[in-house]
Structure 1
């Protein structure tokens, strides 16, 4: 099912292009209000999700890059072994594309570029990017496929 890797490539391209556009348009932590609950805000994340381990002095860059690279290899092998499982193939391809998008940031610039800032009053969700959206959607699709996909008996 390597044919689904085009979706991964599309995610990587959209992710990298959007990050470059935002980074070339904004200063770090500069905000552009878009909607009453959404801003574009350039932020750099040296850690993992929710800035986990971002203050650890640099070793985490290589640790998270290695973890992402291993995950991508495992998911590509899994994808190659699929037969007619389209939803699972799409979900794996989305996660692969998102992981590669953030991996490229870590390898080439040392941090992940985030810019999508959703909030309610003074409560902000941590900023994220297109790669993060692809990973999240891919994982959700995996759960949907596991719970309701073909071959699952209805209770």
Structure 2
């Protein structure tokens, strides 16, 4: 089995994943330790935007709630496995759009894994519920995963061959 060097787009994916992890964890540190949102629960900020503390035991945006310890660890293992597969694919990403998608999803998944390991749940706090059509509270990692999936979907629709 040969190991080829990581492509320039692979490096972009890894760097972007690291940036997402740092941004996610820094925002959670500020929300939890500095601003102390858990003691305030919900604070209106501007227009439809609030900071609302939610401990998410499910997957992104609170889907598939997982209250059992076994499920917590299964979700953690699954997110790590997905991140490893994406990291392997990202090594030879042929296009920037693919690398960006891989990096955002990896970073978001690993940011939430850190929370599951540390807290047993993911800290969510970005709340746009007052818009009336977006009922989820989320975090930087969730946003990165969502945008990353959009990049991967758009990349998959490209008609030009992978070089």
Instruction: Please tell me the TM-score bracket, short chain as reference.
Output: 0.7 to 0.9
SS class of match (2:126):
strand
Task: Report runs of 4+ in structure 1 exceeding 6 Å deviation.
Answer: none
Query: Deviation of residue 108 (structure 1)?
Result: 1.6
The equivalent residue for 1:6 is 15
Query: Deviation of residue 81 (structure 1)?
Result: 2.6
Q: CA RMSD in A?
A: 2.0
Aligned runs of 1:113-132 on 2, under 5 Å? 113-120=123-130, 125-132=135-142
Structure 2 distance, partners of 1:145, 1:124, is: 26
Query: Deviation of residue 88 (structure 1)?
Result: 0.2
Q: In structure 1, list runs of 5 or more residues that go unmatched.
A: none
Change (3 A) 1:92 1:28: farther
Q: TM-score, normalised by structure 2?
A: 0.84
SS class of match (1:81):
coil
Match of 1:22 among 31, 38, 42: 31
Q: In structure 2, list runs of 5 or more residues that go unmatched.
A: 1-6
Structure 2 distance, partners of 1:32, 1:149, is: 46
Q: TM-score, normalised by structure 1?
A: 0.88
The equivalent residue for 2:158 is 148
Query: Deviation of residue 130 (structure 1)?
Result: 0.3
The aligned length equals 151
